A and B are shown apart, each in its own frame.
Chain A
């Protein structure tokens, strides 16, 4: 009996090893990669301000190297009792249904890639987003994107020209997606305490100029080869929304088949 106890204690203490991890200081990654962060969010989601705070912190660190997109699809995206606007649209709904069906919120897809060690693309803990953004930034881009905007303030007509250049040979078929986001919308948002009536909403997906799953741009791309696409859109006239100065045009290139990972993204603002 005495020996058995000794063995047990030895087993216990043998587990208490010296494998200590020292947490390093933060060091920003320099990269030509621009990362798309699609956040599944909603104004009736009490936990979603935590996602907003995480995104703003990531933006503070990496600026325009990270492009957040607030997708107000359907789950917990219905307006609160205090809401003036309804951010839902068919593109957001289709994206949520197809990219993150039934996810809890907030959740995010980062370049639509499955991070190492995760079972799928949808990351439900905002604390982890920053690390996965850095993992994507550490990868060199396979293509570069150049976006030119032509906007007429009187007619509110917007023309978007996107050029894509192969930085290395890309064997798979490529798709392009074009989104319009809106910043600086002040409206209600639930948090863990209350309904915040004047919450600052940024990066809200307002519409897409391609199908929600993109449209085919090229069947493959050689190094140095370029392809382009052009889109037109008339900005709706609205007393409160669709303010040209608050809009962002996001263009990204993603795999047409397979995992559908985003290879590169770009963002532009309208100029007058």
Chain B
């Protein structure tokens, strides 16, 4: 019997025995299903070619089925994952596998909570530890192990955890462990100051395979770049607190990573041949300072946010690359927008050198108008500009029938850094993107949404226009027609994939149907290459051409 089957049997035993032992308690079962089926249609004109799905594996699918049960003091859950010719793991690759994705069992005993199996949690804002899931990028960093939480008093909670970080259907070599103390305090004469202090630490112990890999790399370094020794273990610590006083809310977090070996892309390695090669493993401290200050009163909200990151590439295995094996999560520092063109260029958090600020203002001019201003600025610690954005949005809602937005975005985007393209032939992308978004409700059931966006830029693919019309018949149907058109292309850009570029229309036609707690969508999509960000994590995705059928259902 396989390990997975054994776990299933054990879990079933626990569930059933608990069920009998909890007579009178009602068992509640709930779950969710999410699935996407893709049919890839090769289109060399947009660069949708040269990956396995366009070269003979046209049908792909991803699906997740969660089933959770809750009975008395016991809670448990399973998730089955299914991937067939999936492009989620690597957008340029094909991934096929299926099996038990996660399982967990949880119970309370007096003031203690125990959980075994897959654990999702975070410390503070997640800088030193965050176990989470982002399905669009196939990120699932659940910890496979155990967690104990102890409620020491009304105001203080303690948590400790240990395990291995999940990777697809197995886990990374090496141990991750940690803990946190979080409190809730009231201070001041009339207890008007609320504090939510916390302290946490995360440690990791490298697996033997990782140590072997590091040794095999480091022993080839020349003497000036050599790291003579490193430890199996390394730790990061974090202190954080929320402070609320009247209309002000402050969150501050300081995190430090004790010296450990990590890969620094800004350094270079001198090969034995004398050639200088980009990137080198170094052994350094790391730190992150992060804070937000908010002020709000009726009709006005102001938030200022800042983050300083230095050498904070903290992974289960330092030899892993891209988004793999990251133990923490660095919050993104730009305005999150849902419009197609204003979200085309997104700055992913930089792990080794970043200084970022963001300010946001929301002002309700009167009952009909709401103004939103946002500005963000991201540089390296050496003051090289990575990203800058100004964003103005005016919401106009004169009555219940009409809801509209008018706005403009101004961006500077360091495409070379964010997308790994050659520096000297990849200029800073600068854009102006005005937009209009109007939602009109004809009746309580019928509505029409129109979006118009124009991105003016002379870099990358050039200027774009995007139009969308969406007709809704509540509560079941929604129809969408949209198109993104490269109205002023940039044919001289050497970074554009062979055959792509030019005045090309990228259309989307979609129909969505909602039935009870299920939502179905069928879409025909042509999508340009771009950076896709979900929850602050980004990656470069190649162009897509084909059909998508999506199902989301809860029960």
- Residues of A bordering B, CB below 8 Å: 1, 4-5, 8, 11-12, 15-17, 19-26, 44, 46-47, 49-50, 53-54, 56-57, 60-61, 74-75, 78-82, 97, 101-104, 116-117, 119, 124-128, 130-132, 134, 190-195
Interface pairs (27), CB distance under 8 Å: A1-B156, A4-B158, A8-B158, A11-B201, A12-B203, A12-B237, A16-B235, A20-B232, A21-B229, A23-B227, A26-B219, A53-B277, A56-B273, A57-B272, A57-B273, A61-B220, A101-B52, A117-B207, A117-B210, A119-B168, A126-B277, A127-B319, A128-B213, A128-B217, A130-B217, A193-B422, A194-B424
Task: Check if A104 sits within 8 Å of B229, measured CB to CB.
Answer: no
In the docked arrangement, what's the CA distance between A172 and B43, Å?
42
Task: Check if B233 sits within 8 Å of A22, measured CB to CB.
Answer: no
Which 6 pairs show the lowest CB-CB distances between chains A and B?
A: A131-B216, A102-B93, A117-B209, A78-B498, A19-B232, A102-B92
Given A1-B156, A97-B52, A131-B217, decide whether A57 and B229 contact each other with a Cβ distance below 8 A: no
Q: How far is the CB of A94 from chain B (nearest CB, A)?
A: 10
Task: Check if B228 sits within 8 Å of A61, measured CB to CB.
Answer: no
In the docked arrangement, what's the CA distance between A125 and B215, Å?
15
Q: How far is the CB of A109 from chain B (nearest CB, A)?
A: 15
Given A23-B227, A117-B209, decide whether A78 and B497 contact each other with a Cβ distance below 8 A: yes
In the docked arrangement, what's the CA distance between A75 and B94, Å?
14
Task: Check if A131 sits within 8 Å of B212, measured CB to CB.
Answer: yes
Task: Check if A127 sits within 8 Å of B233, measured CB to CB.
Answer: no
Judge whether B51 is part of the interface by a CB distance below 8 angstroms.
yes
Determine which of A21, A82, A101 lies in contact with B232 in the assembled complex, contact meaning CB atoms within 8 Å. A21
Q: Which residues of A contact B52 (CB under 8 A)?
A: 97, 101-102
Judge whether B187 is part of the interface by a CB distance below 8 angstroms.
no
| Contacts of B272-290 to chain A: CB distance below 8 A | 272-273, 275-279, 281
Given A78-B498, A193-B423, A193-B424, decide whether A23 and B319 contact each other with a Cβ distance below 8 A: no
Q: What would 7 more interface pairs be, CB under 8 Å, given A11-B160, A57-B220, A127-B281?
A: A21-B211, A50-B279, A56-B275, A102-B52, A103-B90, A124-B321, A128-B216
Task: Check if A19 sits within 8 Å of B231, measured CB to CB.
Answer: yes
> B419's closest neighbor in chain A, by CB?
A46
Given A26-B219, A195-B422, decide whether A21 and B231 contact each other with a Cβ distance below 8 A: yes
Task: Check if A102 sits within 8 Å of B90, measured CB to CB.
Answer: yes
Judge whether B450 is part of the interface by a CB distance below 8 angstroms.
no
Q: How far is the CB of B484 from chain A (nearest CB, A)?
A: 23
Determine which of B92, B152, B271 lies in contact with A54 in the assembled complex, contact meaning CB atoms within 8 Å. B271
Q: How many residues of B contact A (CB 8 A)?
A: 72
- Residues of B bordering A, CB below 8 Å: 50-52, 55, 87, 90-94, 152-153, 156, 158, 160, 167-168, 170, 173, 177, 179, 181, 199, 201, 203, 205, 207, 209-220, 226-233, 235, 237, 263, 269, 271-273, 275-279, 281, 319, 321-322, 420-425, 494, 497-498
Q: Which residues of A contact B275 (CB under 8 A)?
A: 53, 56-57
User: Which residue of A82, A97, A103, A192 has the most chain B CB atoms within 10 A of its CB atom?
Assistant: A192
Q: How far is the CB of A7 from chain B (nearest CB, A)?
A: 8
Q: Which residues of A contact B424 (CB under 8 A)?
A: 193-194
In the docked arrangement, what's the CA distance between A231 and B20, Å?
73
In the docked arrangement, what's the CA distance between A78 and B177, Å?
45
Q: Which residues of B contact A23 (CB under 8 A)?
A: 215, 218-219, 226-230
> A127's closest neighbor in chain B, by CB?
B217
> A100's closest neighbor in chain B, by CB?
B93
> B416's closest neighbor in chain A, by CB?
A192
User: Which residue of B168, B215, B216 has the most chain A CB atoms within 10 A of its CB atom?
Assistant: B216
Q: Which residues of B contact A46 (CB under 8 A)?
A: 420-422
Task: Check if B181 sits within 8 Å of A4, measured CB to CB.
Answer: yes
In the docked arrangement, what's the CA distance between A21 and B283, Å?
13
Q: How far is the CB of A87 from chain B (nearest CB, A)?
A: 13
User: Which residue of B55, B153, B205 has the most chain A CB atoms within 10 A of its CB atom?
Assistant: B55
Q: How far is the CB of B160 from chain A (nearest CB, A)?
A: 7
Task: Check if A16 sits within 8 Å of B220, measured CB to CB.
Answer: no
Task: Check if A15 sits within 8 Å of B203, measured CB to CB.
Answer: yes
Q: How far is the CB of B25 from chain A (nearest CB, A)?
A: 32
Q: How far is the CB of B53 from chain A (nearest CB, A)?
A: 8
> A5's closest neighbor in chain B, by CB?
B181
In the docked arrangement, what's the CA distance between A60 and B153, Å?
64
Task: Check if B233 sits within 8 Å of A102, measured CB to CB.
Answer: no
In the docked arrangement, what's the CA distance between A26 and B222, Å?
10
Q: Which residues of A contact B152 (CB under 8 A)?
A: 1, 4
Given A15-B235, A102-B92, A103-B92, decide whether A47 and B420 contact each other with a Cβ distance below 8 A: yes
> A105's closest neighbor in chain B, by CB?
B92
Task: Check if A192 sits within 8 Å of B422, measured CB to CB.
Answer: yes
Q: Which residues of A contact B209 (CB under 8 A)?
A: 116-117
In the docked arrangement, what's the CA distance between A82 and B201, Å?
52
Q: Which residues of B contact A60 (CB under 8 A)?
A: 271-273
Q: Which residues of B contact A25 (CB under 8 A)?
A: 219
In the docked arrangement, what's the CA distance between A88 and B227, Å?
40
Q: Which residues of A contact B179 (CB under 8 A)?
A: 8, 11-12
Q: Which residues of A contact B235 (CB under 8 A)?
A: 12, 15-16
